[in-house]
Amino acid sequence: MSSKLPELFEKNRQWAAKVNAEDPDFFEKLSKQQKPEYLWIGCADSRVPANQIVDLMPGEVFVHRNIANVVVHTDLNCLSVIQFAVDVLKVKHIMVVGHYGCGGIKAAMDQAEHGLIDNWLRHIKDVYRLHKEEVDAIEDDHERFDRMCELNVIEQVANVRQTSVVQSAWKNGQELHVHGWCYSISNGHIKDLNVTSSNNEG
């Protein structure tokens, strides 16, 4: 079986040449520093690339991704990203972005065993337990999964708000807004779940 890695290197060269043709100073400016205004906390699904979805170039979005865009207070990786984004980069917006048709959500809601990932999925199962009555009342499977995707985002927004980093930023008067969105792979559009918080009263 032939490797496709050389193809990726070629695609990289083509991309770099295209960007350089459009903006000869782009990579020089990019190498100096990054000043993103946004932290994107999203799903690791390969169909949900942060920069492309919002049509922003490299350097404009700081990104953290994991299965089902979960924010857990014991996840030092995620917490470190949030701290660096807020304290060092001084981002103004944190977006928790889920997506409809999320495999992590579906896996959490079925009764099958999935191995090691079950330890991660239990955080989503907790969201389901919190909203079990609402979710179970939805008869259509597709609509039920979609609603769980939204509820998961809403809970993760709450988790972001409760982090000591975000609490300290708000206490110190730093401009910081936390948003909850859901992306539709079927049409490419983002839905605002209207749970934006800009302080502890949001």
Active-site residue list: 43, 45, 47, 99, 102
d(CA 76, CA 125): 21
Would you say 60 and 40 are in contact if contact means Cβ atoms under 8 Å apart? Answer: no
The sheet with strand 38-43 has its strands ordered as: 61-66, 38-43, 93-99, 177-183, 190-192
Would the annotation count 182 as a binding residue? no
CB-CB contact of 29 with 22 (8 Å): no
**Is 25 marked as a binding-site residue?**
no
* Coil, helix or strand at residue 15: helix
β-partners of residue 191 are 182
Q: What is the 3-state secondary structure (H, E, C) of 126-191?
A: HHHHHCHHHHHCCCCHHHHHHHHHHHHHHHHHHHHHHCHHHHHHHHCCCCCEEEEEEECCCCCCEE
Half-sphere exposure of residue 104: CA atoms within 13 angstroms, side-chain side: 28
Binding residues for Zn(2+): 43, 45, 99, 102
Binding residues: 43, 45, 99, 102
